[in-house]
Structure 1
Amino acid sequence: MILQQYIQEVLFKQRICVVPQLGTFSVQHFPAHYNSHAQTLTAPREQVMFTQQWQDDGSCVEWIALKENLVPAVAQRKLEKYLEELKAELQSGKPLVLPGIGQLQGDFTGNIHFHAEELPVEKETLDLTPIERTTDSRTAPAFVPPPPEALEPIMTEEVEDTLEAVTEESGFKWWWAAIPIAAIVIGLAAWWYLSGISKAVSQSETPPDMEVTAKQLAAAAADSIQKALADSTAKAAITPITYYAVVERYKDSTIAVKKQKQQLAWGKTLVLYKRDSMYRTAVELHSLVADTTVQRDSIRKVFGNKVFLEF
């Protein structure tokens, strides 16, 4: 059955697998457990869990479309057909075997029971005996280990691709801000050059008409500088900029990606990028400089007053 293959491939790759109209499979990690009363240590383990609650994220239709080379509409009809076959088999009471995962079995009330497959080798529980150590005042003080270093969040391939794509798209278009700086530099260079010419002309006893020409050149240079500054300021005022309305900040990239997908499921598209060791979910905006406050207030109506702008 095609859905059995879908569950096997997706579950162990993404640790969660949603089958519409059936339920959700997930791989749960149980850490090591120490029983202080019995003085035993149970090894960590992972177990496949199943619940009849589900929220269709479109992964199943997309997988069928890629697997059978179909358009999404045809893949959706195929999925409905496969689900009818699966439900009919479960209603018969016959166990549905999922190799490496477990068994699904329906009952007469319509409920589905899942029996996880047991591992062939079970890790033994360790018996621990406490060690009593006497302290001698003449001995040197015990060595205190340094605190553990903070670990970077584990980056999966999907998260890394998402962050790289967002980083490439989130480059700030600062070219318009460089225009006034360039105009000032050109003006200073022109002033320095004309000052040198004026000094050379005055030292060589130039005729009066040459002095007038130098003054005219200096006045023309000053007019050109003012005109360049005015043009650059006007161009910056009418040139749209790209900036971001930050909704949330996270230290863990995995949590940030999860929140981004959750907002996407609710119909809210957010971008994800990293700045100052924090991962941000934000709304990408394009507007004039004068309209940034209006854009921020409109985003706050959707996500709350904690939204702020970053350029």
Structure 2
Amino acid sequence: MILQQYIQEVLFKQRVCVVPQLGTFSVQHFPAHYNDHIQTLTAPREQVMFTQQWQDDGSCVEWIALKENLVPAVAQRKLEKYLEELKADLQSGKPVVLPGIGQLQGDFTGNIHFHAEELPVEKETLDIRPIERTTDQRSTNTTPAFVPPPAPEALEPIMTEEVEDTLEAVTEESGFKWWWAAIPIAAIVIGLAAWWYLSGISKAVRESETLPDNNAAAQQQLAAAAADSLQKVLADSTAKAAITPITYYAVVERYKDSSAAAKMQRKQAAWGKTLVLYKRDSMFRTAVELHSLAADTLTQRDSVRKIFGSKVFLEF
């Protein structure tokens, strides 16, 4: 039967298997249990449980559709057919065997009884008895535990008059030897420091005597070079301005509205006069773009005035 195969495959994979209109199978884990009355330890086990309560999650229809390569609607009708066959067997009192799981058997009242099959992971119950400890009479006559002796204390040396005299003599002699070696070294260091200080002062005096003359000459040379550079830059800029053309505009009209300025531009274009449109100081201007030398700007303005009138002025 297809439903028996469905229960076997889904139950041990998901530990829960829902059969619509029949019930729910589940695998439950029971931990180890110790019974202190009969002193036995029951090993942990897995048990298959069954209840007639169910909530269809669509898994059974989906499994049948994949198994028999059917669309969901046809798989639903197939499921209803399989359920009718299973219910007919249960109503007749015939046990329905689920290999590896158990048996289902119905009664005349419509209830379904499940007899689970023992899973192979179940282990036997162990008998455990408590261990009683007996006291040994000989343990009462115990010998005292070994206690290690305390560590010996450090002894200070005994200071006698002869030892004190010897130590004072050695200390005075060693101090005298150190001072005898340090005196000539200190004299050499002081002499070198004095020579270095005097030589530095004489060098600074010589440099201060020659520095004013050198500074005055250097300042005069720098001033002359700066003047020559400035004259050269001015001459180059004047020459470039004389031979380089510039771009500027001969303004014909000014407008507050851009649409009026654009209308004027189209009108002049229809007459064959090309004007440019730009904005400056919140005013829209129609103008003629000019290119000429700086010396020819007035001549170009007069030429534009002859065409558009005396209101033409230049903007750079």
- Please report the TM-score for the alignment, with normalisation by the length of structure 1: 0.42
Specify the structure having the higher radius of gyration (Cα): 2
Does 1 or 2 have the higher relative contact order (CA < 8 Å, sep 6+)? 1
